[in-house]
Structure 1
Amino acid sequence: MAHRSRTESCVWRDSNCVCIFKILLFYVIFYGCLAGIFVGTIQALLLTLSKDKPTYQDRVAPPGLSHTPRSDKSEISFTRSDQSSYSKYVQSMNEFLEMYNDTKQNGDPYEDCGKFPGTYKDRSMEENKKVCKFLRSWLNNCSGTDPDYGFMEGNPCVIIKLNRIVNFRPKAPSNNSLLEELQAKITPNEIPIYCKPKRAEDIGQIEEIKYYGIGQGFPLQYYPYYGKQLHPNYLQPLMAVQFVNVTVGKEIRIECKAFGDNIDYSEKDRYQGRFDIKLTVS
């Protein structure tokens, strides 16, 4: 009887081991199949995506308008007699404009696209896409010829750019969508930029606002942009704005806008097509 009991016990243990093995095998196969389905789905999805450009852009917002130097809460505050108070702004300008140095735009893939606003450059058929030159020297007083970019004299410069969106073609504004101040200044084939004091009490606190670049804004021959893979050396056009003889000791709110038929503004995004800065010179 004892011998039979030991035999039955062994059979019972062997049976349990087989059951545990079958259960483990089932879960290994089950989760292996799930992992395979997941990996297969991801691979199928990747086959529909292009590494050169976004597949879906139907919900992409109009481009943002940004500026250099950037600062916390968009405040540019400095003391003319204290170089350390504006050195961070000068450093930011130097770093940003480094890629626009005239000496870096010699030879292929750079080409001269003219110093006047022109129509779009369709480069879709180019294997090695050309890049329109944009020379730092075109920014005149804000190009760095003045190493302090006007901060020492209380005439600070700000560099403005329209953020990149792959294949986006900004449309020049129609006359009825333009401010009266711009209608006589701009030419076709450009996205004009206009800056002004935002509050009524700030009007008259800046003697003059000067614009440097090509025309009054961004020329259309620099568009479209084809993405980092296809257009790695692309230089977006810039506009430099210099605020001349700013009233000392007063915070001035300034709003800058880009005008185009497919450039909109949003209350939820203060950089969509425009931006505000607080400027204080002491």
Structure 2
Amino acid sequence: MATLKEKRTCGQRCEDFGRFVWNPDHGTFMGRTPVRWVYISLYYVAFYVVMTALFALAIYVLMYTLDPYAPDYQDRLPSPGVMVWPDVYNEEDLELVYNTSEKRSWTRMSRCLKDFLGPYNDTLQEHCHTMHKCTPGHYNLQASFDAPGHTKWSCPFLQSMLGECSGLDDPSFGYNGTNPCVIIKMNRIINFLPNNGTDTPPYVNCTTLEGHENVAGMTFFPINGTFDLSYFPYYGKKAQPSYMNPLVAVKFHLVGQRSAKIQCRVVARNIAYQNFYDPYEGKVVFKIEATS
């Protein structure tokens, strides 16, 4: 018959734990003598010092080989994306739907454009770019960092250049009626030169995909809806901290049912727009509708 284990009391368990923490017979603290604790502590200190040094060295070498002004790899961005403002999205599509007789509805659209154009204020832009003269129609190529703070110069884009869609004369941007404005922006790609270095600037071309009879016409600002070449190339946020994207505004003249599906494409020889996997590459499609 097996001998039953003697059941130990709480006091005996505490006594055993106390002897584990400090054993006077063997002079050990938690199973090791003080000398061995010193040895093992020195080992782990040396181990983590070496690991920290190796990690710091790896980070240093990585940062030393990186260019702080441009990413090493840009092969996934062959063409810029295109966006439209007001940026009002539903679950799937971009829809600019507003009610001309409901102030809260169309004010939401105009406020979105007003906020977006805030940094493009003429006074602000002229103040930031007083020391550099840009040449319209020519690339703003810069081999050195001649601007203050070891940066490069940027060309100003003024809010007033958007004409009737600037919001300066009409704060509603046409959304209190049937002549709404939209603003097209081409996303930034470092060192990108549209048209592969030719002298033809990229421009916005908008076509009506659905509801042709509801669009009486379109007006582009600046003239012909062009992105002037002086805004290219873009050298990066650190190199051009004051850079602002050039914009194109389109004023639609809606009639009939005042509803249409529009595609606005940036036309340039080296800007693709038929990428099935990226519907915003080179173009943007949206619905615009004015109800009452």
TM-score, length basis structure 1? 0.81
Aligned to 1:49: 66
After TM superposition, give the deviation of residue 63 of structure 1 in Å.
Answer: 1.1
**Amino acid in structure 1 at the alignment position of 2:83:** S
Distance 1:110 1:233, change over 3 A: farther
The aligned runs of 1:1-282 (5 Å cut-off) are 9-10=25-26, 16-17=32-33, 18-73=35-90, 74-106=94-126, 108-114=130-136, 118-128=137-147, 129-144=152-167, 145-171=169-195, 188-199=199-210, 202-248=211-257, 250=259, 252-265=260-273, 266-282=275-291
After superposition, give the CA deviation of every residue in 1:212-264 in whole Å (9 maximum; x if it has no partner): 114332121210112222212223221101110244364x2211111222212
RMSD: 2.6
1: CA distance, partners of 2:32 / 2:196: 78
2: CA distance, partners of 1:13 / 1:228: 59
After TM superposition, give the deviation of residue 77 of structure 1 in Å.
Answer: 0.8
Task: Say whether the 8 Å CA contact 1:113–1:132 is kept in structure 2.
Answer: no
Task: Say whether the 8 Å CA contact 1:142–1:149 is kept in structure 2.
Answer: yes
After superposition, give the CA deviation of every residue in 1:164-221 in whole Å (9 maximum; x if it has no partner): 12221111699xxxxxxxxxxxxx521121111224xx22221112111143321212
After superposition, give the CA deviation of every residue in 1:96-140 in whole Å (9 maximum; x if it has no partner): 2222222223352453534xxx13121223511333232222211
Task: Say whether the 8 Å CA contact 2:134–2:140 is kept in structure 1.
Answer: no
Distance 1:24 1:79, change over 3 A: same
Aligned to 1:184: none
SS of 1:92's partner is helix
Task: Say whether the 8 Å CA contact 1:102–1:137 is kept in structure 2.
Answer: yes
2: CA distance, partners of 1:172 / 1:156: 34
Task: Say whether the 8 Å CA contact 1:111–1:131 is kept in structure 2.
Answer: no
Task: Say whether the 8 Å CA contact 2:107–2:175 is kept in structure 1.
Answer: no
SS of 1:87's partner is helix
SS of 1:77's partner is strand
For the pair shown, the structure with the greater C-alpha radius of gyration is 2
Please list every run of at least 4 consecutive aligned residues from structure 1 whose deviation after the TM superposition is greater than 6 angstroms.
12-15
Structure 1 unaligned segments of length 5 or more: list them: 1-6, 175-187
Which of 265-274 and 148-157 deviates more? 265-274
1: CA distance, partners of 2:31 / 2:204: 82
2: CA distance, partners of 1:159 / 1:232: 22
Task: Say whether the 8 Å CA contact 1:171–1:260 is kept in structure 2.
Answer: yes
Task: Say whether the 8 Å CA contact 1:247–1:281 is kept in structure 2.
Answer: no
**Amino acid in structure 2 at the alignment position of 1:9:** D
1: CA distance, partners of 2:207 / 2:158: 26
Structure 2 unaligned segments of length 5 or more: list them: 1-22
Which of 149-158 and 101-110 deviates more? 101-110
TM-score, length basis structure 2? 0.78
1: CA distance, partners of 2:87 / 2:131: 30
Number of aligned residue pairs: give it. 257
**Amino acid in structure 2 at the alignment position of 1:198:** L
Distance 1:83 1:248, change over 3 A: farther
SS of 2:25's partner is helix
Task: Say whether the 8 Å CA contact 1:138–1:214 is kept in structure 2.
Answer: no
Distance 1:11 1:127, change over 3 A: same
